[in-house]
Amino acid sequence: MADLELTKHHGLGNDFLVVFHPHVDDLSALARRLCDRRRGIGADGLLVGESEPGFAARMSLYNADGSSAEMSGNGIRCFAQALARRRGDLIPQHILTDAGERLVTLYATDDPDVIEAAVDMGTVTSIEEPLDWHRIGTDPLRPVSHLSVGNPHAVVAVDDVSIVDLLSLGEKVPNVNLELVEVGPEPHAITMRVHERGAGITEACGTGACASAWAAVTWGLVPDGLEEIIVHMDGGDAKVRLHHPENGHVTLVGPAVFIGAIQVRV
What 3-state class would DSSP assign to 153?
Answer: strand
Q: Is 70 exceeded by the pLDDT of residue 219? A: yes
pLDDT, tens digit (0-9, with 9 covering 90-100), for 57-93: 999 999 999 999 999 999 999 999 999 999 999 999 9
Q: Is 90 exceeded by the pLDDT of residue 224? A: no
- Of the two residues 63 and 2, the one the predictor is more confident about is 63
Q: What is the pLDDT of residue 265?
A: 87
Mean local confidence (pLDDT), 140-167: 95
Domains of the chain, start order: 3-121+254-265 (3.10.310.10), 125-250 (3.10.310.10)
Per-residue confidence band for 175, with pLDDT thresholds at 50, 70 and 90: very high
Cα distance between residue 47 and residue 198, in whole Å: 14
pLDDT, tens digit (0-9, with 9 covering 90-100), for 180-192: 999 999 999 999 9
- Are 261 and 7 spatial neighbours (Cβ–Cβ below 8 Å)? yes
Mean local confidence (pLDDT), 125-141: 90
- Are 30 and 18 spatial neighbours (Cβ–Cβ below 8 Å)? no
In terms of C-beta density within 10 A (0-12 exposed, 13-18 middle, 19 or more buried), how is residue 136 classed? middle
pLDDT, tens digit (0-9, with 9 covering 90-100), for 35-57: 999 999 999 999 999 999 999 99
- Taking each helix axis from N to C end, the angle separating 73-87 and 206-219, rounded to the nearest 10 degrees, works out to 140
Q: What is the pLDDT of residue 178?
A: 97
Per-residue confidence band for 13, with pLDDT thresholds at 50, 70 and 90: very high
- Of the two residues 266 and 147, the one the predictor is more confident about is 147
pTM (predicted TM-score): 0.94
Per-residue confidence band for 252, with pLDDT thresholds at 50, 70 and 90: very high
Q: Compute CA distances 80 → 9, 22, 48, 168, 193, whole Å.
A: 10, 17, 12, 33, 25
Q: Compute CA distances 22 → 79, 97, 153, 190, 220, whole Å.
A: 15, 17, 30, 39, 46
Q: Compute CA distances 42 → 17, 23, 203, whole Å.
A: 8, 21, 14
**100-108 and 114-123 as β-strands: parallel, antiparallel, unpaired?**
antiparallel
Q: What is the pLDDT of residue 246?
A: 61
Give the residue ranges of DSSP H helices in the chain: 27-35, 73-87, 166-172, 206-219
Q: What is the pLDDT of residue 245?
A: 53
Burial profile 202-225: b = 16 or more Cβ within 10 angstroms, e = fewer = bbbbbbbbbbbbbbbbeeebbeee
